[in-house]
Amino acid sequence: MGLVMRLCTIMHKVLFVAVMVSSNGYSSNGIGLNDTARPEVVKIGALLNFNTTVGKVAKVAIEAAVEDVNRNKAILSETTLNLTLQDTKNSGFLGMIDALSLMDGETVAIIGPQTSSTAHVVSQIADEIQIPMLSFGATDPTLSSLQYPFFVRTTQNDLFQMEAIAEIIDYYGWRDVTAIYVDDDHGRNGIAALGDKLAERRCRISYKAPISPSPSHKELSSQLVNVNSVESRILVLLAYADWGLEVFNVAQELGMTEIGYVWLVTDWLASTFDTESPLSSETIDRLQGVITLRMHTPDSQQKTKFVSGWSKLTRDKMVNGSFGLNTYGLYAYDTVWLLAYGIDAFLKQGGTISFSKDPKVTEQHRGTMKVDEVSIFDGGEGLLKTILQVNTTGVTGPFKFTSDRNLIHPAYEVMNVNGTGFRRIGYWSNYSGLSVDPPETLYTKPPNRSSSSQKLRKVIWPGKTPQKPRGWVFPSNPRQLRIAVPKHVIYHELVSLKGADSFSGYCIDVFTAALGALPYDVPYKLHAFGDGHNKPKISELLQLIEAGIYDAAVGDLAITNNRTRIVDFTQPYVESGLVVVAPVQKLNSNSLAFLRPFTPMMWLVTGLFFLIVGVVVWILEHRVNDDFRGPPKRQIATIIWFSFSTLFFAHKQNTVSTLGRFVLIIWLFVVLILNSSYTASLTSILTVEQLSSTIKGIESLVTSNDRIGYQRGSFAENYLAEEYSIARSRLVPLNSDEEYARALKDGPRKGGVAAVVDERAYIELFLSTRCEFSIVGQEFSKSGWGFAFPRDSPLAVDMSAAILKLSEGGELQRIHDKWLQRNACSSEGAKEDVSRLHLKSFWGLFLMCGVACLLSLLLYLITILRKFSVYSEDTEPSSRLTSSPGLRTFFSFVSEKEEDIIRRSKKRRMESASNRVRGGDESTNSSFGNCNSSNENQ
């Protein structure tokens, strides 16, 4: 009985403890209980800016989400969320104080803060006390999990928004960008990310205009005046919604919303449209043509239901009237559900809601601040882990984190302000880039980031024009461009100095014509570069452009790989490459020049085939054609005459057999090709002057030890030394065309050079009056001449388009003919030796002819054997008894005319028939005679 009483007492105490634990919501020792020991209430907090476009929407969305979660018993069972909202009033200091007030030893998680600047401060406190912070509005890319492990971004990372803007800029072919941004952590880090994404596409931010977080009208006006003074007209605006529209008010006053400007605005503008719509007509007019982004949330039943009930929610919860719903509100709503799922999983895994003192601050006092009262959430790491493992679908679509704690499938809608609102012109996603199709339809296909797949719909730009802006202009009151022109020492047809900074020549005419083709004026002044005695080094000139001493260079500037690393070149206006020029001698013509078109082997095979075809045709025609019969001498003469007369299609013998005609048709086709090729080659040999030189091209120069000349200041020196490993001691710099001629005439034995290596354009001018020299070998480097500009210069792009326009219109060729028209001597000297015709070029023809001959002979032999067998059977029996048919009989049969054989065969058959009839009559008479004799005897 005592034992029973003792057991009842123990059970009573256990039940009492269980009830106390259930009522208090957490155990005193912090040991987790099972799912039935859930707390009745879990406290969460939220840090918002109530009076901002994002904050007031988020407040309603968060409160609605908490109510929906508490009504849904399938997620937290009997546990309810207790929300505490704090208004930080857009102050980082107040945000820190409010965060500390929420961290009172009972709050397990905080939704927010709303801004990135506050998140940087508060996240350090959250890390210390291990309370997860779920922010739906802090998009700063530097809020990483490595620095702030308890910070969880439940919206899209600005890194993706900046990548989308960079791809739009690259899609339209712009290169220089001006960034206007709020000067805080959010703005600075966002623009830094934009700069990195632009650099990946060889674009850049050429000017930055920071603006304070709470700017005045005067500050905005001052910064936009500075922006308007630079060349770039691609303006990226990263601001806050509460003062972002004021930027466009000032921009309109300065004329910066007209044609020629491009405004790319981050998603704050779309949030303003969604929340404050309809905007005033004056505001809409200022925004015409602006491109903005909006976080993309796919359509679903959940989203439709939530959006349709939004008006009622705002009327019930707000005193100042209803307002629209933006995407930050959608993410705020999903953030509450994400937290609820995380807490539910945390409790199901045995987690408990308990707090303990931080040993690092227990003994620390900071004046009147009770720092030692701050407690650490013991289950913070466990709750953070379950939150990051949530995989659900909310009003924003699939809600899941990647390994780097970004939400999956980041995507944006590209919007264009037009008319009374804005319209969608496409989408961007990190999966397939720019597209006119929703991203969710592309996730089932392989990713395609090729330039041809990037598409956006038609845009109406500022000034209500559909024409894409150029993206840059010369700033107001610009200085004249300092353009360097290398002084030419040798070829004044290219560039010549007529007076003080007055130039003429081919390069100058091309440059001025290209400037004239531009749709705007370019103020410039030409400056001579060089001393006039030695050709200036182009590499030094390009380095001065890179240093900003000159704004461009015009002249015979060869485009090489090393030079493109320093400056940007325009489209080449002259195609030119390195060639070898050497002394040449004319080949003397002789009486056997007509034999040179064909090689000896070609002559031998051609003559042999003439005889072979003649013999084959004779064999095929001998039995049926009288033209191929007669005495042996006549038949040999016929074969030879017939064969070679086909060369001129003058054969008088007719072919009557089918096989003979077949062989003759094939052979006449071969003769036609041979005749035409021979005639063309002989014409070239007799009309083009043949030149000879011991130098055959760059290969023979490399293998020799002779000295090589080059134009001083040319890139040829480094090219020969680096690409062909020619010792620099063998390279001789030459400074004029007279030095070229003298060095080539002297040769290496007299202190000259074996050859000169220079660009073809120079050499053609050099050879125009010197026929004793010529280009030998092939051009061994491909390059061209262009105008040089600083790296990423937009003027270089426009000048390239102008040069192409001149080329297509024929103006470039007319300028070329005006200055660089070559005479007959240079054209003649530049000709190379005419190649002889080799057997390998015609072996297919000969093979075809040989096969036709063999096939015809085979068919002929089969036919003859068949006829010979018939002929042998028709032979008289006495003949067959005396001699059997053999080779002599066969050859006799073949050599005899077919008509005679046929006539003889008919005659023999008739004689055989008559003999059979005569023999029968004699037998009959003999029988009758025998009968009569018998009768008589009887």
Question: Sorting pLDDT into bands at 50, 70 and 90, what band is 733?
Answer: very high
By DSSP bridging, strand 392-394 and strand 397-399 are: antiparallel
Q: At residue 828, does pLDDT exceed 50?
A: no
- Measuring CA to CA, how many Å separate 317 from each of 58, 80, 82, 304, 312? 12, 20, 17, 20, 9
Architecture of domain 481-576+789-820: 3-Layer(aba) Sandwich (3.40)
226 CB contacts (<8 Å, ≥6 apart)? 207, 209
Query: Which run of H or of E encompasses 273?
Result: helix 268-276
Closest C-alpha among 87, 148, 146 to residue 120: 148
Q: At residue 934, does pLDDT exceed 60?
A: no
Q: Look at residue 326 in the predicted model and tell me its pLDDT.
A: 94
Residue 224 vs residue 497, higher pLDDT = 224
Give the mean model confidence (pLDDT) for residues 509-516. Answer: 94
Residues 568, 570, 576: CA angle, nearest 5 degrees = 110
State the fold for domain 41-155+299-361+371-405.
Answer: Rossmann fold (3.40.50)
Q: How many CB atoms lie within 10 A of CB 641?
A: 15
- State the Cα–Cα distance between residues 338 and 134, nearest whole angstrom: 9
Residues 332, 336, 340: CA angle, nearest 5 degrees = 160
By DSSP bridging, strand 397-399 and strand 411-418 are: unpaired
Residues 349, 353, 359: CA angle, nearest 5 degrees = 120
Q: Is the bond preceding residue 631 a cis peptide, omega within 30 degrees?
A: no
Give the mean model confidence (pLDDT) for residues 81-95. Answer: 82
Q: At residue 485, does pLDDT exceed 80?
A: yes
Query: Which of 145-159, 231-245, 249-263, 317-331 has the least mean pLDDT?
Result: 317-331
By DSSP bridging, strand 773-776 and strand 355-357 are: unpaired
Domain 481-576+789-820 identical in fold to domain 691-782: yes
- State the Cα–Cα distance between residues 297 and 516, nearest whole angstrom: 50
Q: How many CB atoms lie within 10 A of CB 497?
A: 18
32 CB contacts (<8 Å, ≥6 apart)? 350, 351, 352
Q: Look at residue 688 in the predicted model and tell me its pLDDT.
A: 54
Q: At residue 105, does pLDDT exceed 80?
A: no
- State the Cα–Cα distance between residues 399 and 392, nearest whole angstrom: 5
665-685: per-residue pLDDT in tens? 887 888 888 888 878 777 766
- Residue 409 near residue 443 (C-beta atoms within 8 A): yes
874-927: per-residue pLDDT in tens? 554 444 444 445 666 666 666 666 666 666 666 666 766 666 666 555 554 554
Residue 917 vs residue 702, higher pLDDT = 702
> What's the mean pLDDT when you consider all of the chain?
82
pTM equals: 0.67
Integer-rounded Cα Rg, in Å, for the chain is: 50
- Inter-residue long-range contacts of 732-741, CB under 8 Å, 24+ positions, other chains counted: 732/707, 732/708, 733/709, 734/709, 734/710, 735/489, 735/490, 735/534, 735/535, 735/711, 736/489, 736/490, 737/490, 737/491, 737/765, 737/766, 739/709, 740/581, 740/709, 740/766, 741/770, 741/773
DSSP output for 39-73: -SEEEEEEEE-TTSHHHHHHHHHHHHHHHHHHH-H
The tokens describing 60, both together, are 């309603």
318-354: per-residue pLDDT in tens? 757 789 999 999 999 999 999 999 999 999 998 888 8
401-432: per-residue pLDDT in tens? 999 999 999 999 999 999 888 999 999 999 99
Q: At residue 12, does pLDDT exceed 50?
A: no
577-615: per-residue pLDDT in tens? 899 998 876 655 566 666 777 778 888 888 888 788 878
224-235: per-residue pLDDT in tens? 999 998 889 999
| Check whether domain 158-298+410-453 has CATH 3.20.20.80, yes or no | no
- State the Cα–Cα distance between residues 269 and 57, nearest whole angstrom: 15
- Measuring CA to CA, how many Å separate 391 from each of 177, 339, 342? 39, 12, 10
Question: Sorting pLDDT into bands at 50, 70 and 90, what band is 24?
Answer: very low
Helical spans, DSSP H, in 586-715: 600-621, 632-645, 658-687, 698-703
- State the Cα–Cα distance between residues 39 and 27, nearest whole angstrom: 10
868 CB contacts (<8 Å, ≥6 apart)? 885, 890, 893, 894
Q: Torsion-angle region of residue 714: left (phi > 0), alpha (psi -120 to 50) or beta?
A: beta
Q: Look at residue 646 in the predicted model and tell me its pLDDT.
A: 73
- State the Cα–Cα distance between residues 449 and 441, nearest whole angstrom: 15
- Residue 318 near residue 51 (C-beta atoms within 8 A): no
Question: Sorting pLDDT into bands at 50, 70 and 90, what band is 690?
Answer: low
Closest C-alpha among 509, 548, 503 to residue 529: 503
Q: Please report, for the chain, the start and end positions of each structural domain, with discontinuous segments joined by +.
A: 41-155+299-361+371-405, 158-298+410-453, 481-576+789-820, 593-687, 691-782
Q: At residue 616, does pLDDT exceed 90?
A: no
CATH superfamily of 691-782: Periplasmic binding protein-like II (3.40.190.10)
Q: Look at residue 4 in the predicted model and tell me its pLDDT.
A: 38
Question: Sorting pLDDT into bands at 50, 70 and 90, what band is 5?
Answer: very low
